[in-house]
Structures are given as C-alpha cells and as structure tokens.
Amino acid sequence: MSRMRRSGVFSRADARPASPSFATSTSRIRLLAADRFSEVIEAVRRLVHEMGAGATHRELQERVRARVHNTLLTLLRRGEIERERLAQLYVYLHRDAAIREEQIQRRGALLDAAETVRSETVVPDEVVIQVLLTLLYHPGAKAAEVVRHLRGHSPPVTMEQVEAVFARYDLASIGKKGGSSQS
C-alpha cells in the first residue's frame, strides 16, 4: 500500500515519471493530428469554393466525413470563406464577392424549389416510411419504380408523394458518383 493512500486515490508524488518513449509517442500523435487537421481545413476550403451553391455545415460534414465545426470557425476567422444565413440555415460561401453572389443565387433557387415541392405536396408520415423502406429493399430504385413496388398498398401512394419524398431527402442523387468521368 505504499503506492496508494488509504482513500484509494493516487497522489501526484506517487505517480511514476513518464518514460522517454511516452513523450516521443505523444509528440508523434500531436504531429499526426495537426497534419490531419491541415488536410481537413484544405478540403473544406476547397469544397466551399468549388460548390456552386455554397455549402451548409451538414453538407460539408457528410462530404469530408469528419467534424468540421472548428475547421469552419478557423476558415471564417482567417477570412478564407464567408458565411450567410439563408432560410433558417447558414451557408458557407466563397470570399470573392462576385462568386459569392452567384452561389447565393444558386442556393436561393435550390431553396425555392425545395419549398415549392414541400408546399405543393403534403406527404403523410406513413407514406414517407413506406417509400424509405422500399428504397432499403430496392436500393437505387427511381421514383416510378418505387410507385410500382408500392402499388396496392394502403394508404395508396401517388407519384407526386414519392417525388416529394425524393426531393425532401435528396434521394435522386444517392448512388451517383461525383466528379469527372475523365482522368
């Protein structure tokens, strides 16, 4: 019980000195983490600049497959990107004013189109669940195929409802490969 006090808590004096290999491995980990953070910063900056309609936090996080909150703050503070609030969400944009205005216009058009689809077709939750389950059982199915699979179900599912679900969850773009087909 020389290393542990009666309370069962180690004191600072009881701790063993850190080995030299521990200090070396810790510095390596820090270097790797800094390198990874630099890669994420560059990827996020490039994506914001290249995306035609700017990018939301969620869109960037899904593309990079890493947390981007601190990265976006860093880029904002450096002045490498800009941020604007459009229709209840923040969109990260290019710092050049002409490109930024173009991105805002494109994002506005996307938001208007999504709002039009949402306001025109009200889709009950039961239908949304049926459509999403059909897509799980038949991945890659288009809207018309989903309607065909759901023919005869109760409640009946219409093409307009399926298209509204596809628009709401951006299902038409799932499975498409991005980028150029030429190398």
Q: Which two tokens stand for residue 13?
A: 């004096």
The class that CATH gives domain 28-119 is mainly alpha
Domain ranges of the chain: 28-119, 121-176
Helix segments in 19-124, DSSP class H: 20-50, 57-64, 69-78, 97-120
pLDDT of res. 134: 93
The pLDDT assigned to 38 comes to 79
pLDDT tens figures, 76-134: 999 999 998 887 788 999 999 999 899 888 888 887 776 655 555 678 889 999 999 99
Q: Residue 180 pLDDT > 60, yes or no?
A: no
Residue of 77, 89, 85 whose CA lies nearest to 45: 77
pLDDT at 26: 67
| Percent above pLDDT 70 for the chain | 71
Minimum mean pLDDT range among 4-13, 82-91, 162-171: 4-13
Cis peptide before 20 (omega within 30 of 0): no
Is residue 11 scored above 90 in pLDDT?
A: no
